[in-house]
Structure 1
Amino acid sequence: MTAPKGFHSSDLFSKLTVDEIKRLDEVSFTKDFAEGESVFEFNQACSHLYMLMEGTVHLMLPSGDGQFDFAFAKVAKNEIFGLSSLMKSPRYTAAARSMTSSRVLMIEADPLIKILEQNQVVGFDIINAVSRIYYHRYLSMLRKLKDIVDHALEIE
Structure 2
Amino acid sequence: MPDEGYYSYLRNRIGALLLLDGRDNGTYGGMLLEDKLVRYRKDTLLAGMLNPDFFERSNVRLREFLCGHGLLQMVATYDASTKLEPFIDARGRFYFETASDARATSPTKAMEHAVGVASNGWAFWQVERTRERLDTVRQRYLDQFER
Structure (1 or 2) with the greater helix fraction: 2
What TM bracket, shorter-length normalisation? under 0.3
TM-score (norm 2): 0.28
User: Whose strand fraction is larger, Structure 1's or Structure 2's?
Assistant: 1
